[in-house]
């Protein structure tokens, strides 16, 4: 099945993914300092899950 990605949707995904990845970068540094912070770890998992879900939706 062929899937053509709308350019605007792709750009929105790239902007959102970039913002999430910047936040994840900061959160991973924080996690190194606080490895027992389960709330932070959960937030990191949610961020990666969001990016993965968007990429899957766009079949990237």
Q: Which residues are within 8 A (CB) of 31 and not within 5 positions of it... i.e. 6 or more apart?
A: 37, 40, 41, 44
Residues 29-40 have pLDDT tens digits of 999 999 999 999
3-state SS assignment for residue 1: coil
Which residue is listed with tokens 């990191």?
Answer: 44
**Are the C-beta atoms of residues 40 and 31 closer than 8 Å to each other?**
yes
Per-residue pLDDT of the chain in tens (60 residues, 90 and over written 9): 456 779 999 999 999 999 999 999 999 999 999 999 999 999 999 999 999 999 999 999
φ/ψ of 55, rounded to 5, equals -65, -40
């Amino acid at each position: 099945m062929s899937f053509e990605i709308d350019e605007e949707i792709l750009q929105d995904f790239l902007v959102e993914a970039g913002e999430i990845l910047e936040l994840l970068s900061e959160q991973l540094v924080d996690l190194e300092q606080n490895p027992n912070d389960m709330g932070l770890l959960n937030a990191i998992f949610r961020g990666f899950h969001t990016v993965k879900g968007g990429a899957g939706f766009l079949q990237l």
